[in-house]
Chain A
Amino acid sequence: MFSVDPRRTSSAKFADVWLGLNVGTDVALSNTVANHIITNNLHNKEFIAHATQGFEAYAESVSTWTLERGSAVTGVPAEAIAELAEAYATAETAQLLWTLGITEHHNAVDNVLSLCNLALLTGHIGRWGSGLVPLRGQNNVQGGGDMGALPNKLPGFQDIVDPEARAKFEAVWGAPVPPEPGRHLTLMFEGMETGDMRAVYCIGENPADSEADVAHARKMLGQLDMLVVQDIFLTRTAELADVVFPASVGWAESDGTVTSSERRVQRVRAAVPPPGDARDDIEIITMLANHMGADWGKPTSHELWDELRSLSPLHQGMSWERLEAEGGLQWPCPSEDHPGSPFLHGWLWTEDLGGRDPSPFSVVEHAGPIEELTDEFPLRLTTGRALDSYNTGVQSGSMQSPIRYGNAIDLSTADAERLGVADGETVRVVSPRGSVEMPVRVLEDLPVGLTFTTFHFPELVDVNVLTNDAWDKRSGTAEFKAASIRIEKLQPVG
């Protein structure tokens, strides 16, 4: 196991080798690995010829990424990159797993594509034990997308611009489906800024705490003509709302399904009744629709699931009864006698590629973080989660965790010494967007120049005041992982 992470995390301590790359140099590392594999003739030529296209251009594009250049850009020693490349290329099976460290960047899509390139280069895709594994941070991130909660997709990843797909849904729904893709969250905020988005119905999200450059986000939400929030708590976002619908807890007070990282659809069930006037999300939305004059009746989650199955071929075979009996099923599961699919892209290894085009390599270029380090803001700030906490702390905050260390900014020993700050000392953290005060946690194994904090305690420290809302135009994700900051000592020296 190799761990590639700017910090030597708990997971990194399980690894045989930890590579501490500079924040935002993922493409540089991938391309260097690729070039080393190619120049050492370790790429899977047979697989490349059979199942891919665009290799020549790709090989050309990474050819400048010598170990020396890769090492200079990423900060990782050349030998370590070579070792990683050789181990990955020669392994019988190998997986690349990642999470938001890859995707919360302004060039998130390029980061992901650069990893896909490595899998294509070595044939570590589409077979047992090999693959590309994005790890999801919530129980239903996957399911949300699967169900069409994406601006450009209908349930089952059917394209909204495809008239045939739309017609299928319109027939069942008895209503027209808008033919144009909608907006993702980042574009919505841009719409709020330009004034062409005037009303928001926000369900189960707390952007007033979670958005990068959160001061700006709060301002935008505050300017809306109408903000409706549906949540289980009166979150900071709900506090800004005109109307709040109290909702039930998805996994403990509601019936339905969620879909995990491995595309496994599983049942959630109500175990306790929701408090007070809180209602199930389905009920709230249905009541709202009925109130507005539609006739949606009172559908159960089971009935809604059956409707979804009738429209999404990926889910067709997942009857409610099978989900109950088999402890979940992995899509695609096109028919009731289909066992579900433990991995995807097996077609790459079939004779005729399942009638598809060969999979393309993507030429991707390295582009570091938008915000470069300067004399004024000389430290890199990256953010993430702690084991016992969750996002903005709405759910996890009330748990009495014995291992919670609270909100602190992690600083390397050398930086702490240079700044003259001690472990536990409260400092001012300043980014180009704002500043917060928080205590320092000095860590021996953090690389010099890197700082880290969680964002679980917005009521204590508004960390997202600092983070950069520069975002990837293709995925819509903001660059939470790379801001530039400086640390100011509050207590007098000595």
Chain B
Amino acid sequence: MTTTEPVTETAVSLSIDGATVEVPKGSSVLDACNAAGVDTPTLCYAENLTPVNACRVCVVEQEGSRTLIPSCSRQAEDGMEIKTDSERVRHSRKMVLEFLGSGVDLSQAPDLQQWSEVYGADPERYGPSAAKIEEEVRIQDELYIRDYDKCVLCYKCVEACGDDAQHTFAIAVAGRGFDARIRTEFDTSLPDSACVYCGNCVAVCPTNALQFKTEFDLRSAANWRPEEQSVTRTVCSYCGVGCNLELHVQDETIVKVTSPNDHSVTSGHLCIKGRFGWSYVHGE
């Protein structure tokens, strides 16, 4: 489904680490970095969500700008001179990763761990007294769990639940500062909330703070083996929209269903039936 009529594209030209790249007008600086072959860490960014530029791990240095700029949300402009590996950029990225690592459990966020290594982030140096997010795992149903110890407050789940995808608005950021948390109203349980269990929040979570219950159970049983899983793309059977599914299969059993972000029909988003209505395949 194409949502807008195609428009004639014009290009802008900018410099990324000294190399000139051309990208279509309207592209982000991040797009330009990608076009230049520069790998950029991202966390709160997702191609199927509006950038909130909250995590600041993708910051780059723009010639003439007092502060660093978030590459995910800043539009590329003609003549920009961008540095992605300056001392300032490296320092801010390191600190952001370190700040996160010092307060949040990143054990199931391999990308962030890898970037932390790249930038030499040392979360341990804040010592054992450094404040951490400490919350009980919320298991309130058989479809997914919420483990906010792992939450980096990237806003993605809120966006996916809200007007970027589902328009259900079951969750929002509540509180302020370090005490801000993703919450339903008054932390009411998910089954009692507006949640319609589309699982779109789980799909966009970058740290596994939100997990499908199947994955959580397999992990708890030390039987989650992503390296052995196959991923097959197919089409959901439950209605005529044509959402694409990615079936994650381990030991000939579906263990998780996602949807490709780059597919035009629903850009990675599903409903409860497409996301969870597969148990009958295995005769349940």
Contact = CB atoms under 8 A, between A and B. Distances in A.
Q: Do chains A and B touch in the complex (CB under 8 A)?
A: yes
A20 interface: no
A136 B234 contact: no
Interface in B81-134: none
Interface stretch (A43-51, A146-154, A247-255, A469-477): A247-255
B280 interface: yes
B242 A402 contact: no
Interface in A151-177: none
Contacts of A253: 281
Contacts of A294: none
B20 interface: no
B281 to A, nearest CB: 5
B239 to A, nearest CB: 6
Most buried by B among A138, A264, A342, A402: A402
Given A14-B167, A400-B142, A250 B237 contact: yes
Given A270-B232, A271-B232, A138 B253 contact: no
A402 B240 contact: no
Interface in B179-220: 190-191, 195-197
B125 to A, nearest CB: 42
Contacts of A402: 140-143, 190-191, 195, 197
Contacts of B242: 139, 258, 260-262, 264, 266, 328
Contact of B237 (A139, A270, A272, A389): A139
A413 B140 CA distance: 31
B240 A252 contact: no
A262 B241 CA distance: 8
Determine chain A's interface SS by DSSP, over half rule: loop
A271 B247 contact: yes
Interface residues of A, number: 48
B269 to A, nearest CB: 15
Contacts of A397: 280
B195 to A, nearest CB: 7
B141 A400 contact: yes
Given A271-B232, A395-B237, A403-B191, A327 B244 contact: yes
Contact of A258 (B167, B235, B272): B235
Contact of A394 (B196, B232, B241, B280): B280
A269 interface: yes
Interface string A395-412: 111111111000000000
B272 A401 contact: yes
Contacts of A268: 234-235
A253 to B, nearest CB: 7
A272 B141 CA distance: 26
Contacts of B1: 262, 264, 342
Contacts of B237: 138-140, 250-251, 258, 395
B144 to A, nearest CB: 10
B281 A249 contact: yes
Nearest to B189: A402
B264 interface: yes
Contacts of B235: 139, 251, 258, 260, 266-268
B8 interface: no
A128 interface: yes
B280 A233 contact: yes
A135 interface: yes
A400 B143 CA distance: 7
Q: Which 4 A-B pairs have the closest CB atoms?
A: A136-B240, A260-B242, A271-B232, A261-B240
Given A136-B240, A388-B197, 14 more contacts: A128-B5, A135-B239, A137-B240, A232-B280, A252-B254, A267-B234, A269-B232, A269-B233, A272-B252, A273-B252, A327-B263, A328-B265, A387-B273, A399-B273
Interface of B: 1-2, 5, 140-143, 167, 190-191, 195-197, 230, 232-242, 244-245, 247, 249, 252-254, 262-265, 271-273, 276-284
25 contacts: A135-B239, A139-B236, A139-B239, A139-B242, A252-B254, A258-B235, A260-B235, A260-B241, A261-B242, A264-B242, A266-B242, A267-B233, A268-B235, A269-B234, A272-B252, A275-B283, A395-B277, A396-B277, A396-B280, A399-B276, A401-B272, A401-B276, A402-B140, A402-B197, A403-B197
